[in-house]
Copies of this chain bind each other. A is one copy, B any other.
Amino acid sequence: MQAEIIVVGSEMLTPYRQDTNSLHLTARLNDLGVTVAFKTIVGDSLQQLTGAARTALTRADIIIFSGGLGPTEDDLTREAAAAALGLPLLSDPTILESLERRFAARNIVMSPNNRKQADVIEGFTVLNNSNGSAPGQFIETTHNGQRRLVLLLPGPPSELKPLFDQVAKPLLAAALPPSFLARRTLRMALIPESLVDARTAPIYQRFADIETTILAGRGEIQLHFASTKPTLAEAQARVDEVVSLIEAEMQDDIFSSRGESLEEIVLLMLGMRHLTLAVAESCSGGLIAERLTEVPGSSRTFLGGAVVYTDALKTTFANVPADLIATHGAVSEPVVRALAEGIRTRTGASIGISVTGLAGPTPGTGADAGKPIGRVYVALADGQQTRAKELNLFGDRERIRWWASQQALELLRRTLL
């Protein structure tokens, strides 16, 4: 079964905004064994939207509209879908009454425009929207001799997601042959995609019934596996099988096999060993702390740390001797080691990690003059030994900072293994 998602709204055709509803819908449709074959993004024009709906009816089994169900004259999804299907729009007295109650409860006079939201395409089932005023609509019908499932959903993600998951998805599931999808995701840090592919392709290519997606970016490789079978147990067993073989091949290069982030994994490893962590960040400027504290419950193992952007603060907050900085420069291995050791001592953490480097575009000064942009040092001190690493990263400031944080977290993970 193939679906087309039609995203409605002129704002989605500007340089500023992008549809995200379709990603949510795609994941849920995949769960039902449905592939998304087309996404169409179209503006608030009755002619263009009706045309897009007609095209979709010729090429997809399931057509889902996202947006255009509001009360303004720009909201034209009901009209366009009705026109494409050749069906009339009828005002639904139950919806009208509920709209009137909604407005009365807020002491607002309902404008005539709002009556549009009570229009239902003949034969469609009304899907009650508990998070907004526009209900969804659904039909299983025959169009030009072809079976078609058509679904209209409101555009705001806070309305679309629960309405699809709780109301529309069960209706679609009932109309489709039973099918079960199981997924697994393996994540790896700081390994070239080509290397991962060379080592894993000979394995996953033997599983023709498993859909494999490799995503690479920001210092991470993700391998996504999906299997669709008549029972969930079969689907699960099949993805578990490919995952086991790839785990055996890639071993410790894999940091998570259930989708967890690198931050979550290091916090989990620290927690299991009853260890605490502190960070001293120069060029990453708080990014490592920010990534770690984004994880709920991180306060159990992460104590905090310092953003030591100036040389003086490296001394104030992490005991780095001023003459060490004067001699070697702030961007140096002796300083990154002292930073990791110092932040550990000052905070009383089990482990201290540190980053210093040149993220650019401003070049280094003083003892750091002449060092290339992208030169970064990361270090880890655990009270027994201090490990440091020199990196030469490329790209812009944002990329260098991100990779520096990724390198520090991966150094921590490898140390904890």
Show the binding face of A for B, using Cβ within 8 Å.
11-18, 20, 23-24, 26-27, 30, 35-43, 45, 48, 51-52, 55, 59, 213, 215, 222, 224, 279, 281, 283-290, 292-294, 296-299, 302-310, 312-313, 316-317, 346-348, 360-362, 397-398, 401
Question: Which of B304, B316, B362 is A346 in contact with, Cβ under 8 Å?
Answer: B316
Question: Which of B16, B36, B40, B306 is A304 in contact with, Cβ under 8 Å?
Answer: B306
Report whether B285 and A292 are in contact in the complex, using a CB–CB cutoff of 8 Å.
Answer: yes
Report whether B15 and A294 are in contact in the complex, using a CB–CB cutoff of 8 Å.
Answer: no
Report whether B306 and A310 are in contact in the complex, using a CB–CB cutoff of 8 Å.
Answer: no
Report whether A398 and B16 are in contact in the complex, using a CB–CB cutoff of 8 Å.
Answer: no
Q: Identify which of A30, A51, A304 gathers the most chain B CB atoms within 10 Å of its CB.
A: A304
A303 vs chain B, min Cβ distance (A): 5
- Given A286-B288, A306-B305, A306-B307, the answer on whether A15 and B27 have CB atoms closer than 8 Å is yes
Report whether A309 and B304 are in contact in the complex, using a CB–CB cutoff of 8 Å.
Answer: yes
In the bound assembly, the distance between CA atoms of A213 and B35 in angstroms comes to 33
In the bound assembly, the distance between CA atoms of A42 and B5 in angstroms comes to 11
In the bound assembly, the distance between CA atoms of A55 and B30 in angstroms comes to 26
Report whether A286 and B296 are in contact in the complex, using a CB–CB cutoff of 8 Å.
Answer: no
- Given A15-B27, A40-B38, A40-B40, the answer on whether A310 and B299 have CB atoms closer than 8 Å is yes
Residues on B with beta carbons closer than 8 Å to the beta carbon of A285: 289-290, 292-294, 298
Residues on B with beta carbons closer than 8 Å to the beta carbon of A287: 286, 290, 293
Question: Which of B16, B20, B26, B304 is A308 in contact with, Cβ under 8 Å?
Answer: B304
In the bound assembly, the distance between CA atoms of A361 and B296 in angstroms comes to 7
- Given A297-B362, A299-B310, A307-B305, the answer on whether A37 and B17 have CB atoms closer than 8 Å is no
Question: Which of B48, B309, B316 is A37 in contact with, Cβ under 8 Å?
Answer: B48
Residues on B with beta carbons closer than 8 Å to the beta carbon of A213: 11, 14, 16
Q: Identify which of A24, A286, A309 gathers the most chain B CB atoms within 10 Å of its CB.
A: A286
Residues on B with beta carbons closer than 8 Å to the beta carbon of A346: 316-317
Residues on B with beta carbons closer than 8 Å to the beta carbon of A26: 13-15
Question: Which of B18, B316, B361 is A347 in contact with, Cβ under 8 Å?
Answer: B316
Report whether A38 and B37 are in contact in the complex, using a CB–CB cutoff of 8 Å.
Answer: no
Q: Identify which of A20, A284, A310, A362 gathers the most chain B CB atoms within 10 Å of its CB.
A: A310
- Given A38-B40, A285-B294, the answer on whether A215 and B17 have CB atoms closer than 8 Å is yes
Residues on B with beta carbons closer than 8 Å to the beta carbon of A281: 286, 289
Q: Identify which of A37, A294, A307, A362 gathers the most chain B CB atoms within 10 Å of its CB.
A: A307
Residue of B nearest to A397 (CB): B296
Residues on B with beta carbons closer than 8 Å to the beta carbon of A52: 38
28 A–B contacts, CB within 8 A, in A order: A13-B26, A13-B36, A14-B30, A15-B30, A16-B222, A18-B18, A37-B43, A38-B41, A40-B40, A48-B59, A55-B55, A279-B307, A286-B290, A287-B290, A287-B293, A289-B307, A293-B307, A296-B362, A298-B309, A299-B309, A302-B309, A303-B309, A303-B310, A303-B312, A304-B308, A304-B317, A316-B347, A317-B346
Residue of B nearest to A47 (CB): B59
- Given A52-B38, A347-B316, the answer on whether A296 and B360 have CB atoms closer than 8 Å is yes
Residues on B with beta carbons closer than 8 Å to the beta carbon of A15: 23-24, 26-27, 30
Residue of B nearest to A405 (CB): B290
Closest 5 CB pairs of A and B: A285-B293, A286-B289, A286-B286, A15-B27, A304-B309
A391 vs chain B, min Cβ distance (A): 18
Question: Which of B11, B39, B42, B303 is A13 in contact with, Cβ under 8 Å?
Answer: B39
In the bound assembly, the distance between CA atoms of A217 and B362 in angstroms comes to 31
A35 vs chain B, min Cβ distance (A): 7
A384 vs chain B, min Cβ distance (A): 23
